[in-house]
Amino acid sequence: MKGEVMEVLTPSLEDYLEAIWLLGLSERVVRVRDLARKLKIKPPSVVGALKTLQERGLVRHERYGYVELTERGAEIARRIYERHKTLFQFFHDVLGIPPEIAERDACAIEHHISKEGLERLTAFLRFIRECPEGEPLWLTSFHYYIDTGQRPDHCPRGDKMSGVTLRELGPGEKGRVLKLRGGGAVKRRLLDMGIVPGEEIEVIRVAPLGDPVEIRVKEYNLSLRKEEAEAVIVEVEKE
């Protein structure tokens, strides 16, 4: 039922619900003049919109009285606000867009994004926040590229992206990690050891049969099994 109500609301009515919700968080009561000021709309237009919302059971408003959201109206308003907040965080925190522009873009898109698109975007932001090493390297690199117009040094050019496996390097050779292939327990163990894209690795020694491979990462000596070394794709660093 709630989803159906969300579908029939116009962008303008959604803006009213969101504004009432936000004003209610900071003000003891919400009045018509408060909404008019926040939305930059004349009071008679606000009264007309409130009448429509009241007819749909989303607000309570007596003539010259306070404006309140009904339980159903509050739930819809909260979801509209969460949708807006998610879009703002994506534009500002991920894409690095200035806050005033990110706010404007979020307002424009929040009325049209699909449920599936919003769910995927929310999961994407949650993934970034829960990254155990803080801001992912690729996101830091993107912000550097936006700010300077230059490709970070650790980002290989297109013709180098194929790389070689770490197992192909000999003692004394160094490489910068391009990617980890495969998945499962091997990839998780490599990540836990700090072997991530952009990190420099030096091969210290290789056992006679190629197993294990001793490497140095972040001043730590580590030992990799053959299948682990084969899962690490590196760009060989030239002396």
pLDDT in tens, 11-20: 999 999 999 9
The two structure tokens encoding residue 72: 């159903």
Q: Which of 27-41, 71-85, 90-104, 135-149 has the lowest mean pLDDT?
A: 135-149
| pLDDT score recorded for residue 133 | 60
Tell me the range of 67-71, 152-156, 171-175, 234-238 where mean pLDDT is highest: 67-71
| pLDDT score recorded for residue 82 | 92
pTM of the predicted structure, to 2 decimals: 0.57
> Does residue 161 have a pLDDT over 50?
no
The average pLDDT across 136-155 equals 74
At a CB cut-off of 8 Å and minimum separation 6, what does 54 contact? 60, 61
Cross-strand pairs, 122? none
The average pLDDT across 55-64 equals 89
| pLDDT score recorded for residue 238 | 65
| pLDDT score recorded for residue 27 | 74
| pLDDT score recorded for residue 135 | 62
> Does residue 129 have a pLDDT over 70?
yes
Q: Within 10 A of 169 (CB to CB), how many other CB atoms are there?
A: 22
Domains along the sequence of the chain with CATH: 1-130 (1.10.10.10), 158-236 (2.30.30.90)
Q: Sort 16 into a burial class: Cβ within 10 Å, 0-12 / 13-18 / 19+.
A: buried
Cross-strand pairs, 235? 176
